[in-house]
Structure 1
Amino acid sequence: MSVSLSPCSVPGQEPSFHLEPDEMELGLGIHGEAGIKRTKLQPADTVAKLLVDHMTTTDNYFPLHPSDEVGVVINNLGGTSNLELAVMANATIRYLVDVKKANVTRAYLGSLMTSLEMAGVSVTLIKLTSNWTNLLDDPTSAPAWPNPSLGVGGSHVRFDKPPFLVMSAPPVQSDVTINTESGGVLKACTEQICKSLVDNQALLNELDRGSGDGDCGSTLKSGAQAVLDKLSSFHWDSPSDCLLALSECVGAHMGGTSGAIYALLLTAVANTLFQSDVVDGAVWTRALKSGMEAVMRYGGAKVGDRTMLDALSPAITILEQSSTLDGLKSAVEAAKKGAEATKDMTARSGRASYVSHELLTQPDPGATAVGIWLQAILSALTA
């Protein structure tokens, strides 16, 4: 979460927002997206408390328990002096150690993600395991990555390269295949999904401007266009292999949070299909549910948090009752209603959770996108 004392400069344009000399804004985005609230200037200790408390006590967004090993990144938003950065780092680490009783084992200070001339900092927390610490301590040539420092009372430490191996699973081809006709249907559905996301770029960007930086549609379009460009290269007769390849393509080309979420969802779907003896409507429903559960498990969001889950969950509930074409029609309507309902929800996950509720007057773009691609599947199956 971030705090800013001034807007960023965009060459050739006016500042995207204005702050009085005695004001600061909490929770704003790196591109100037609206934050959760504005206050008068506060001391560093107070600001550190506000930021850490929001992350650790708001609906268990980052549940913190005594003795948890924690890493901290204090990032310069672009126009903050090294002295101010160090003061903020000291206040944040002291609050985590003395009040939250966390074991801060790594702290990083630097200009890692910046905007031109934006005065302020962002504070990032991460729970550490020994393996993650090893990875963080591994030497890197990244020019902006700082040497790690320890918390209050600690000393500056550099570690030798740890003896660990990074292993990846070998590619596995599923034995479950579908006939050419069914493979053609899967290809048609995928193609229609991608074309629909491309066509709805402007709509999704517009919805995202209220809660993000207005690029949700562009991000989804990037992944969708990459899939369209490689459409002939996927093994459509092997659903699990196909979904895994789609996941890799989306993860490589979509970018942003959406890319990670959809890659995760598609991988979980592929895994369920791989373990199935047949591939029918019920299996696709079960696979989609496993994808949703993976997003919830690793993303931390749940139904009611104003995310894609609010459209996906009601659709899956309908499909579990009937995985027929009529069931899909009802599921599409449920998804659209779920997406529409997000405009009245309080965001508790994702970028929108840092935006004041009064500014969230439009449906969530991620939830809207779910309705779009479910409608695309229905259109492909009824064409």
Structure 2
Amino acid sequence: MTQRVRAVVARGRGAAVGVETILVPDPGPGEAVVRVQACGVCHTDLHYREGGIDDGFPFLLGHEAAGVVERVGDGVVDLEPGDFVILNWRAVCGTCRACRRGRPWYCFATHNAKRRMTLEDGTELSPALGIGAFAEKTLVHAGQCTKVDPRAEPAVAGLLGCGVMAGLGAAVNTGDVGRGDTVAVIGCGGVGGAAIMGARLAGAARIIAVDIDARKLETATVLGATHTVDAKTTDAVEAIRGLTDGFGADVVIDAVGRPETFKQAFEARDLAGTAVLVGVPTPDMKLELPLIDVFSRGGAVKSSWYGDCLPSRDFPLLIDLYLQGRLDLAAFVTETIPLDGVEDAFARMERGEVLRSVVIL
């Protein structure tokens, strides 16, 4: 039975989003309908609104979410109504060349629901990252639902669905931060803050937070940074070297995703150090580096896809750490807002006033 629910829709490039009625069909084979309880406002949703991802308007926004499974389609065996889940946008296929090599976090053929949600006039919607969770209910592939301990607060749990997992995983999984390492994080918004928290969780001895916003640097200290660098007034590369006996950091994470910040990450790492790009660039951005420096500095230059996470492995583990009081995920929730507050939340996010606004349904 098709259901009518309220949802946030972006109809055109740069246009303000609005709450509209959409139609959610019954789940098909391998699919599930989820009643959304909370969904974080992520910068990726703003990228969709601005046409920075693709031109598939109208978009059903929202993807950083937690909720309760309401219905499942044929063939779904490991999920049932009533399960508390975090939605993920990398439902691994299990059969592509990455999965067959035992690297499912690189899966090249991730699943999405095949049935389409629509506007009331039948216009098909493009759900953000295959999820579309600024909605009272959404339709996803069953593999996009990761069961976690239901004691977790939905507003906190949902953040693992994107930004927090991306940043934390950039440190722990992609950057392979180890005990005693020195880590620098450039850009201390939600993703960068999560990278700082991940570096602390991994046992880094020194964590250097770099930003141009003093408020974000204050928050970075709360999240685990041992040193801060105001890149508005200080050369970030020289400051990082100055805090590391002139050598540079073992791991430098660029959570901004601009050519100038990634060049800083590349130059601020120690010999044989690792530079990790987790901030999302736009298609027009270009990077120029002296090839001799790429060779002579050694080490690794990596991009981090979703924190190189495996949701079925990482989400339950991180929720357990949160419930044990060892991972303060609640620190990322700056405010909770209603469904019709997303457009205003975008403005606050652009002004750097929040780590995360979270829609509560």
TM category, shorter: under 0.3
More helix by share: 1
Higher relative contact order (CA 8 A, sep 6+): 2
The TM-score normalised by the length of structure 2 is: 0.26
The TM-score normalised by the length of structure 1 is: 0.25
Larger Rg: 1
